[in-house]
Structures are given as C-alpha cells and as structure tokens.
Amino acid sequence: MSTPVSHSLINRELGILEFNRRVMAQAEEEGTPLLERLRFLCIFSSNMDEFFEIRVSGLKEQMRLNPGIKGPDGLSARQAYRQLAKTSHALVAQQYELLNQSVLPALAEQGVRFFRRSRWNEAQTAWIRDYFYNELMPVLTPIGLDPAHPFPNVLNKSLNFAVELSGKDAFGRNSGRAVVQAPRSLPRVIQLPHEVADCEHGFVFLSSILHAHVGALFAGMEVLGCYQFRVTRNSDLFVDDEENTNLREQLQGELPHRHFGDAVRLEVADNCSEEMTAFLLDQFGLEREDLYQVRGPVNLVRLMQVPDRVDRPDLKFPPFVQGVPAAIARQPDLFKAISRGDILLHHPFQSFQPVIDFIRQASEDPDVLAIRQTVYRTGTDSELMNQLIQAAQRGKEVTVVVELLARFDEEANINWAQKLEEAGAHVVYGVVGYKTHAKLALVVRRENGRLKRYAHLGTGNYHARTARLYTDFGLFTCNVEMCQDVNDVFQQITGLGDAGEHTYLLQSPFTLHPRMMEAIRAEAERARAGEKALIVAKMNALVEPKIIAALYEASQAGVQIDLIVRGVCALRPGIVGMSENIRVRSVIGRFLEHHRVFYFWNGGQEDVYLASADWMDRNFFRRIETGFPVLDPKLKRRVINEGIRPYLKDNLLTWEMQPDGGYKRRAKRGRGFDSQQFLLNVVAARAA
C-alpha cells in the first residue's frame, strides 16, 4: 500500500481491497479443493461488485461535492480513488490470470471443462446451434442504435453485448452499432449433455453461444465485432429522513432505481475495439480509469452455480455434521432446557436448528403469550419467519422489528413485513435514522400462574443458510435481568421514551461505545500500575477513530493487545512509540469469520462480551446494536477456548497486518494449526 505510514489511520477503501486480496488468495491455494477455489474467485467478484456499488460510488460523490476535504486517513477522495483504482486493476488482472492459467486448466484435468468457441467439435457445434435457436433467440431483443433507438438504459451488473455492424438493414438503415441485452432469466453457464460434452461435466458460456450466432440477429448485415460488457452502478438507496412518512412505501419507490444509478465501473472483454470502448465509456460518462478490460466472462459471479451443479465431493470441502449442545440433546423442550441454565450455540459448528425450534415451540405452545424478534437479514425462504407468521395466526402477540434498510435485502424484508402484517403481527421498521442491527428474540410464557421471559441473543443474523457458512455465537437465557434488558430494548424501538439503564446489556447508540472505551482505558490504567493487562477483540471491521486512539494509548501504556479483524482495519499495528504492543491478524478460510468477541483481562476476572456490532462509527452511533456479557463461567470459558484461543494459535489461515496496511501470511511455526478445522473437530463432532 502506498498510504504513508506517518498517518495513524489507514484508508477504509484500501483496507477493503486488502481483504479482497486475501479472499482471492484462497483461490490460489493448491490445498483448497478445486471447486472451492472457483467459488472463492466468484466470492472475490461479488465482493468487488459491492465495493464498486457502495464504496466507490460514495467516493465519486465526495469527489463531485467535496473534492478538497480529506478523510481521517489524510487522503482526499481523489487521492484515495487513484490508489484504489490502481490496486483494483491489478487485482482483477490477477483474478483472470488465476482463472485462465490455473483454475480452469486444473478443472479440465478433473473432467470439468468449459468449452471455448474455437474448440467446439461437430456434435457440440450442432447442439449449441439448436440451443441458440430454440432457447436464446426467441427471448433476445437486438437494439440497433440510431436516432429512433438511443442507447438503452442498461441494468446494473447485467450482461450485454455491443455489436459493430456493416451494411444496411431492410429499411436502409446503417448505424453501424447495436446492443443485445441478455435477459437475467437466462443462465450464464449452460451444461452440455454428457454425450455431447464427451467428459464428466462440460459447460459453455452464454457469451460464447451468442458470439457464435450473433449474426442471426442481424440478417443481411455483416458483424464486424461482438463484445460483451457489463456496467456497475451506484446502488445506495436514498431515503429522506425529513420527508419520510412511510418508510416501506418510500423504499418500494426507490428500489427500482437501484438498477439504474450512476455508472461507476465498465467491464469489457479484452478484445473490444478501441472505437467501441471509447463509445461505451462516453455513453456511461466514465473515464479510462473506470474501465476494466478482462480476459474472460465479465460476470464471474454467475459461475457460483457451477460447484453446486458438479457432483464431485472430492473437489469440495468435506461435509460435516453440525453439533447440538448436550443440554438440548438431553431435553428437546427448549423452555425446560433453558430453565436449567444458559445455553451457548457456536455456528456453523453447531446447528442453527435450535433457534428455529425456539420460535416454533413458542408458536405452538399454548402457554406462550408473546414473541418479539428483530430481523435484519433472514433470506427469501425462511422457516423462522413462517413460524412467526403462524404464531400470529394462532393469536399470539407477535412483534417483529424489520430493518427495511438492510442493504440488498430490502425487497425480501418488505415482502416479509407485508406477510407478517397480513397475519396479524405488529411490524415495526425500527427508528428512523438508526438501522436496527441487534440480534434479539424474546418469548413471554405463562408458568405456574406467572409470566416468565426467555431470550435469544446473537452475533449473527437469523438466517439459516448463512448460519452454515458464518461463524457466530448465540445465547439462550432466561436470566431475569438479561431478559428485562432485552424487553426494554424492544420497548424503546416500538414505543417512545428514555433509554433507561440496563443491568447487563450494552446498547448502541447509548452505552456500547462508552463501555468499550472504559474497558480499554481500565486495562491501560492497570498496565501503568505494573499489573497484567490484556485485550483481545475479534470482529469484522475496526475503523472508529476514538476506539483506535484508545487502543494506541493502551499499547503505549504496556497493554498487550491482540486484534482478530477479518476485514478492514484502520489501525496500524507494530509502530514503535504508538502501537508496538498491538498485533492484528485476519483469518480467512472455509467459513466467513463473523462473530464479535471482546475480551478484557480485568485483573483476572476475564470479562467476555459478545455483540452484534463491529467497532465502526456506524455500529456505535448510527445503529441499534447490542453487546452482552457471558455470565455463566463454563460458557465464558467456551467462548475463550472456541472464539479466541484457536485464532491466536492459527498459523495456516492467518494473515498478519503490517504497519503499512498490507498483510503477510503468518509464518508456520511447528505443526500447522487450522482454527476452523480444529473447531470442526472439537465442536461439530461433539455434543458440547
């Protein structure tokens, strides 16, 4: 990275690119199963798409509105953009070289082949011709560009083809250019029949089929060139807090415009003519540094379907059986099980099913009077949401806080909100100006003539699919004070009133940031007094300047600080006189590291907090988040032994951050230790 080390903070956008570099490195690892290497390349593409849709579009807005203002990293928007553009181009070039020179040839050796046009045999050519005329041509609409047919409004991230033509059509027109848009309903990768492919798994790209037959769309004209292209647009939604009277209606009006925001990136095939490239850049109002010429399909994200369509377990991560806590295995009645003591779930090593069962049992139990839950991301097909709907239909008091502004999940959440309301549930859209990102569920049950509360608190979303891919902790409890705290948070969100005092729960935007600052400073005071002082924090991102400043001060006081930050980290570790006692590592592996764990030595008491929040400005000040202590000593020890120690010991999946913001793989010392495989062995394989 070229950011000067003299500045105490690292640029956030450049930090995100460094994370994406580490993701792509998983595709380079020969030890990663082959189809998983392809999947990591697709994940890298998906990450880069979102990076341009949100972060780059935001930088471009800054360049337009406040070009001279410098960020906390000391860079203006223009300076940051120049650096990220240079890095992005290098990463994309590396990605396609890896795809073409390593991953695809290795897959071909294993009988998974992607056939290029130049290598189709007679049988393949005939099958593909029939496929084009029967399946593609009827749904394609070629658009000739002339005064009556201006350049079409191209959808965000859609696959398109720019065609150069010669000759005149039936009406005597000769514009020389046309655009063909590939409908999103069409697959981007088509699997050939086994007898045609003459291999175990044969695929052909949609772009190759269209290139081969594009002439059929322009009868009587000569096709001089056909070039695939894809434009990425600003996908942030604008919601006016002052003018907003109905958030759902305003979002429903905004969502269609996401597909047609300002262009921020143009991807074209590397064979695209200079004339056509200049024409496309002009149409989208982009500069040369916004252009990405690639050697292969411009929409690699759509290759994500291939590993799922190839039945080769030997080329994928081995399957595993998720564990179930012994307390639940012994007592499937969750209310009885929780009454005997708090229960900790560690996903994905342990199943998410108990969380679904918690809501299902509450829905079916005649003694349950009320269910309250927050929803940030839950998916389009959610058993948990269906259980909430059934609970409302059964006459229970169901209140669901649906965050409509969960980026890229807005449409799904709007649909669930409508279904919940139709079933009779109370649906609340949080607090205007504050996203509800807390992960909370509360059940009120009548027992022995009295009301008793049960709660689930988590670090991750109520999303069954991602719970198999993301590492997260969840806690079941019926602790009276903790449940009262959870109830108070719901009361704040759904009603009106002061924040009030919580016994255990930490909450943004009120107490979470002050409590973290207080805990960091307390460790610094102990270090100055000559006592042992230790901080370990695991999270997805660390960018909040006051927290970083407090960590710098703690390091200078002698506190030993270990930070496990999966993604962007604006703090610079290892700088003498500022952060020499801080180590930052990032763990990238089969599962997405997602849980937030905050550990403070606290004179040997070892305070451990789990949270829904990263250490970011938005999480501390512009979101409703929760953090909660792990009170049960045995469960606290589990969090330390499963959520902290394996990651500090890891020397196979770990990248160590350098003072300049770059990362190096941790040098293997002794026997290799893979934190995620360790947890698969000791958590998934046992009833913990």
* Inside any domain, residue 1: no
* Sign (positive or negative) of CA dihedral 288, 291, 294, 297: negative
- One-letter identity of residue 628: F
507 close to 537: Cβ distance less than 8 angstroms: no
pLDDT at 258: 43
The C-alpha atoms of residue 265 and residue 49 are separated, in whole angstroms, by 9
pLDDT at 171: 58
Residues 133 and 227 in one domain: yes
Residues 130 and 83 in one domain: yes
Q: What's the full length of the chain, in residues?
A: 688
Indicate the residue among 315, 349, 372 that finishes a domain.
Answer: 315
Percent of the chain exceeding pLDDT 70 equals 93
The C-alpha atoms of residue 88 and residue 52 are separated, in whole angstroms, by 10
Residues 304 and 339 in one domain: no
Give how many domains the chain has, as a whole number: 3
* Inside any domain, residue 6: no
Indicate the residue among 486, 503, 520 that finishes a domain.
Answer: 503
Residues 259 and 348 in one domain: no
Indicate the residue among 282, 315, 348 that finishes a domain.
Answer: 315
Could you tell me the CA-to-CA distances from 356 to 297, 432, 588 in Å, in that order? 40, 29, 28
Given 347, 437, 456, 513, which residue is catalytic? 437
* Inside any domain, residue 2: no
Residues 350 and 277 in one domain: no
The C-alpha atoms of residue 208 and residue 285 are separated, in whole angstroms, by 28
302-323, pLDDT tens digit by residue? 999 999 999 999 999 999 999 9
* Inside any domain, residue 7: no
Report, as an integer, the average pLDDT of 42-65.
92
- Structure confidence at residue 241 as a pLDDT band (50, 70, 90): very low
Residues 293 and 350 in one domain: no
Residues 432 and 523 in one domain: no
Among 28-32, 124-128, 632-636, which stretch is predicted with the lowest mean pLDDT?
28-32
* Inside any domain, residue 239: yes
Residues 58 and 164 in one domain: yes
Residues 351 and 495 in one domain: yes
Residues 443 and 536 in one domain: no
- Structure confidence at residue 144 as a pLDDT band (50, 70, 90): confident
Neighbours of 496 (CB within 10 A): 6
* Inside any domain, residue 433: yes
16 DSSP 8-state letter = H
* Inside any domain, residue 354: yes
pLDDT at 66: 83
- Where is mean pLDDT largest: 7-11, 36-40, 193-197? 36-40
pLDDT at 414: 82
**pLDDT beyond 60 at 243:** no
pLDDT at 244: 39
Residues 398 and 469 in one domain: yes
Q: Which residue bears the tokens 């039945």?
A: 311
pTM of the complete model: 0.92
CATH of the domain at 389: 3.30.870.10
pLDDT at 253: 44
Axis crossing angle, helix 383-393 with helix 353-364, rounded to the nearest 10: 10
- Tell me the pLDDT of the chain averaged across its residues: 91
pLDDT at 239: 42
The C-alpha atoms of residue 24 and residue 473 are separated, in whole angstroms, by 27
**Is 437 among the catalytic positions?**
yes
**pLDDT beyond 90 at 179:** yes
- Where is mean pLDDT largest: 241-245, 348-352, 496-500? 348-352
Residues 96 and 54 in one domain: yes
Q: Show the domain range for 225.
A: 12-315
- Structure confidence at residue 574 as a pLDDT band (50, 70, 90): very high
CATH of the domain at 285: 3.30.1840.10
* Inside any domain, residue 320: no
pLDDT at 270: 94
User: How far does CA 248 lie from the centroid of its chain?
Assistant: 23
First-to-last CA distance in the chain?
43
pLDDT at 176: 86
